[in-house]
Amino acid sequence: MYPLFESKRGASTYYLTRIIFLRGLSALYFLAFLIAYQQNEGLLGNNGLLPVNQYFFRLKEYVNASKIHGKQSISPLECFLQFPSLIWFLDFQGQHVFHYMQQCALAGMTISMVIFIHGRSNAIMMIVLWLLYFSIESFGQQWYAFGWESQLLETGFIAIFLVPVLAINFHDDHIAIGKELGHVKVAIYAYWWLIFRIMIGAGLIKIRGDYCWRDLTCMDYHYETQPVPNPLSYFFHYNVAWFHRLETMVNHIVELVTPWFMFLGNRRLRLANALIQISFQLVLICSGNLSFLNWLTLLPSLTFLDDEFLLHNFPMLWEDHHRHIVSEIQKNQERSSSTESWSISFIFSKLTVLINYIRSIFFVLLIAFLSVPVGRNLLAFDGKQAMNKSFHNFKLVNTYGAFGSITKQRTEVILQGTLEDISDPSIDTNSQIEWKEYEFKCKPGNVDRRPCIISPYHYRLDWLMWFTAFGSYQQHPWLLHLTAILLSNQTDTYESVYDLLESNPFNATHPPKYIRAEHYLYEFTEPARSWFQRSGIDSLSQSSGDTGTWWTRKRIGSFFPPISLDNMSFQNFGKQAGFTFPKH
């Protein structure tokens, strides 16, 4: 067997690396567009929780107000430069914003599927994908306000420089096999810089943040209190204390030590770092449902795995023509161009090389310039380190970080409705009234329900419900809009909103008269007497713990009191927040 980290040749090549990387990136692009297409109608549609048409006009007003003189006509380009989206050019009057968002999602799925199947792409296709996703993200409001959105955009932007300008097949590009690797390596190095910033940023935000990262106790809480646990989170949570300390220490090593291997100029260390980072992300994928964040973070580490590594350690993946192309690339790296004759193809080849050379210089200077505020942030020059922040509108180079603080207790907001009239003040709403609970797709609710397995898919409403529990309903007006929709029980008009839920406990002819939100403390049930009693397939597919439930819960208090649609204060709140609440 060929040695894992050895190389018989000098310079590394990345022909096969690009194929794997592009397939991975296109798969994540497809998934991101799919999530948008399936969920955006309930989240951002005309009858959604945060209608995008209203947001569109607010952004236009903001752009107009930001002009020096104000109150002047603004152009689609001015709006695009502040909030990048093709929709400014497609529908500047804002009549069909959501329709074009859905069209962007469909187009993105189509292009990303073509790239995934073919394993090749060019700069034009990658620019279009990047702009299509930006067109959705710019209008996504709270549903898209998380670090993996800007991370996907930055990853996609670098990919524009990883591929030829026009040619689809890398080996058909007229710059001759192997000679395009100069600009390819620039993109490869950009991905190395990206994964370095992601990991160092995540490590530093932890060390500077929650004390539990310094006393190595954070993993005592994380698996139970993370946004959306999966079934394995339960077993990870009940590991022994010393193992949790070891987990935390390994986390610090992976995030703060091994990323520096890329600067040491040693191929073995770079490959070791890649395998460590990939393994680390795979463990995180198994331990919870963190959207497509970990899958996306895994991608840049693949660029450390050069052709030699892939050919000799995974020979079953490559056909003979792939081996032949890599061999030709490596030979041509050592061939002198002085022996080539002047011809049309030779001149075109040189012209293409010149274009790639120019765009590589531009790319290097751009990344270097935009990395300055990111570096300042990592070093906390302004007194503290910001987490998941973009320093410019196009989000080309960003700062990242995750779980700078760890929630020590898991609290959930549970929506409950009743058919009964509770206007009588003598009625005890907690004991004399039957309250039926709304179940969400994935977030904890029913204590008997097994935690879901969805990663890399992502339920945006469930994720926001986790954040909602940390604040108040006044900070999340969309929650009361959801409540008004549920009170109306108009399942036809608001079908897309109901599709975001797992179940509706009320039928169409009997809508709830009141809905309230209760605040509960959730904890995993105590483990069974033996881990082996719980480690089989049946335990993962059914329930958990000696009690037959996965969770225990205790009521903390009311998140908001019982509300009906004829409550004027409720209706006024909706108007002030810009919503049109349905009425009976």
Q: How far apart are CA 42 and CA 62, in angstroms?
A: 25
- Give residue-wise pLDDT tens across range 58-89: 999 999 988 766 556 899 999 999 999 999 99
Q: Which of 160-164, 350-354, 381-385, 421-425 has the highest mean pLDDT?
A: 160-164
7 within domain boundaries: no
pLDDT at 1 over 50: no
pLDDT of residue 318: 87
20 within domain boundaries: yes
Boundary (domain end) residue, out of 336, 364, 399: 399
- Give residue-wise pLDDT tens across range 159-173: 999 998 887 766 544
479 within domain boundaries: yes
**Do 310 and 438 share a domain, yes or no?**
no
**Do 308 and 416 share a domain, yes or no?**
no
Q: How does 12-25 read in b/e, with b if 16+ C-beta sit within 10 Å?
A: bbbbbbbbbbbbbb
User: In this predicted structure, which of 65-74, 123-132, 234-243, 500-509 has the lowest mean pLDDT?
Assistant: 65-74
**Rounded alpha-carbon distances, angstroms, from residue 525 to 223, 286, 350, 411, 548:** 13, 20, 67, 15, 9
Mean pLDDT, residues 503-522 taken together: 93
**Do 85 and 24 share a domain, yes or no?**
yes
**Do 395 and 469 share a domain, yes or no?**
no
pLDDT of residue 167: 76
**Do 381 and 422 share a domain, yes or no?**
no
User: In this predicted structure, which of 25-34, 172-181, 215-224, 246-255 has the lowest mean pLDDT?
Assistant: 172-181
How many domains are contained in the chain?
A: 2
* Residues forming a β-bridge with 501: 440
**Do 154 and 267 share a domain, yes or no?**
yes
DSSP class of residue 342? P
The end-to-end CA distance of the chain, in Å, is 73
Q: How confident is the model at residue 285 (pLDDT cuts 50, 70, 90)?
A: very high
**Do 117 and 154 share a domain, yes or no?**
yes
pLDDT of residue 128: 98
Boundary (domain end) residue, out of 359, 377, 399: 399
234 within domain boundaries: yes
Q: Of 229, 318, 162, whose CA–CA distance to 522 is shortest?
A: 229
pLDDT of residue 138: 97
pLDDT at 340 over 60: no
User: SS3 string of 518-582?
Assistant: EEEEEEECCCCCCHHHCCCHHHHHCCCCCCCCCEEEEEEEEEEEEECCCCHHHHHHHHHCCCCCC
286 within domain boundaries: yes
pLDDT at 2 over 60: no
Q: Of 280, 269, 145, 286, whose CA–CA distance to 202 is shortest?
A: 280
pLDDT at 24 over 90: yes
Q: How far apart are CA 322 and CA 315, in angstroms?
A: 11
Q: Of 493, 512, 510, whose CA–CA distance to 437 is shortest?
A: 512
% of the chain residues with pLDDT over 90: 73
CB 292 within 8 A of CB 28: yes
Give me the chain's average pLDDT, please.
Answer: 89
What three-state secondary structure class fits 214? helix
8 within domain boundaries: no
Q: How far apart are CA 228 and CA 412, in angstroms?
A: 11
3 within domain boundaries: no
Mean pLDDT, residues 94-123 taken together: 96
pLDDT of residue 443: 96
- Phi, psi values for residue 321, rounded to 5°: -70, -30
DSSP class of residue 451? P
> Beta-carbon neighbour count of residue 277 at 10 Å?
24
pLDDT of residue 308: 92
% of the chain residues with pLDDT over 70: 87
**Do 366 and 450 share a domain, yes or no?**
no
Mean pLDDT, residues 516-533 taken together: 77
pLDDT at 348 over 80: no
Q: Of 552, 228, 457, whose CA–CA distance to 543 is shortest?
A: 552
74 within domain boundaries: yes
**Do 337 and 458 share a domain, yes or no?**
no
Instruction: Tell how strand 398-399 and strand 389-390 pair up.
Output: antiparallel
What is the span of the domain harbouring residue 372?
A: 15-399
| Torsion region of 141: left, alpha or beta (phi above 0 gives left; psi -120 to 50 gives alpha) | left
pLDDT of residue 287: 95
pLDDT of residue 430: 64
User: SS3 string of 419-439?
Assistant: CCCCCCCCCCCCCCCCCEECE
pLDDT at 178 over 60: no
pLDDT at 193 over 70: yes
**Do 207 and 331 share a domain, yes or no?**
yes
CB 359 within 8 A of CB 183: yes
pTM: 0.93
Mean pLDDT, residues 475-493 taken together: 95
What three-state secondary structure class fits 338? helix
Q: How confident is the model at residue 532 (pLDDT cuts 50, 70, 90)?
A: very low
**Do 336 and 480 share a domain, yes or no?**
no
pLDDT of residue 10: 57
CB 234 within 8 A of CB 524: yes
- Give residue-wise pLDDT tens across range 322-336: 887 888 777 776 654
Boundary (domain end) residue, out of 366, 399, 432: 399
**Do 25 and 131 share a domain, yes or no?**
yes
Q: How confident is the model at residue 346 (pLDDT cuts 50, 70, 90)?
A: low
Q: How confident is the model at residue 537 (pLDDT cuts 50, 70, 90)?
A: very low
User: In this predicted structure, which of 46-50, 525-529, 544-548 has the lowest mean pLDDT?
Assistant: 544-548
- Give residue-wise pLDDT tens across range 40-52: 999 999 999 999 9
Q: Which of 10-14, 180-184, 226-230, 536-540 has the highest mean pLDDT?
A: 226-230
